[in-house]
Amino acid sequence: MTFVLCGVVSVSHYLVVGAVLFTCGVVCMALKRNALGVLMGIELVLNGANVNFVAFGSEYLAGDSRSVLGLDGEVMALFVILLAAAEAAVALAITLNFYNNHATVDVDRADDLHG
């Protein structure tokens, strides 16, 4: 664990946080049987990506201003947040419809089209 406490915070530290969030999100998407759990996994994945975008865009973290994304990173993060909101709204509407029709939110039961 020397790398965490070896001094000032750098881009790499943020990338590790992003990696943890991303992994948790992927596992969540794969494991959860609750449709809303899957949705939460997606949110985690998007957030992990966001952490990376912001870390790469931050001049405060990466001293060399030539190598940073600058504003582009933050703009990307903003777009990700917006699209995540849109995606959550639609996914929630679908889930509620599914619940109305099947009285469950278990994604394994969504097999009406299974041959």
Partner 1 sequence: MNHEAFGLLANLFAFLDWHEFFFLLFAGVACVAAVMVVLSDNVVRMALHLVLSLGATSGLFFLAGAEFVGAMQLMIYVGGTLVLLVFGVMLTAQTQLVALRTPAGDRVIAGILAAALLAVLVQAAFSIESWQKSGQGVATAPTATPLGMALVGVRVDQVAEENLVRPKSGYLLPFEIVSVHLLVVLIGAAYLARAKRRRVPRSVDLVASADSTKPRSSVAASSTLVAGGPK
Q: Which residues from 39-58 bind partner 1, rule CB under 8 A?
A: 39-41, 43-44, 47, 50-51, 54-55, 57-58
Answer yes or no whether residue 1 interacts with partner 1 by CB under 8 A. no
Length of the chain: 115
Closest to partner 1 by CB, 90 vs 115, is 90
Which of 7, 111, 112, 114 forms a contact with partner 1 (CB under 8 A)? 7
Q: Is 34 helix (H, G, I), strand (E, B) or coil?
A: strand
92 contacts: CB under 8 Å, gap ≥ 6: 36, 39
Q: In this structure, what token pair is assigned to residue 106?
A: 């278990």
Closest to partner 1 by CB, 108 vs 112, is 108
Give the DSSP letter of residue 107. G
Q: Which residues from 75-104 bind partner 1, rule CB under 8 A?
A: 75, 77-79, 81-86, 88-90, 92-97, 99-100, 104
Distances (CA, A) of 55 to 20, 59, 92: 15, 9, 30
Which of 1, 2, 30, 115 forms a contact with partner 1 (CB under 8 A)? 30
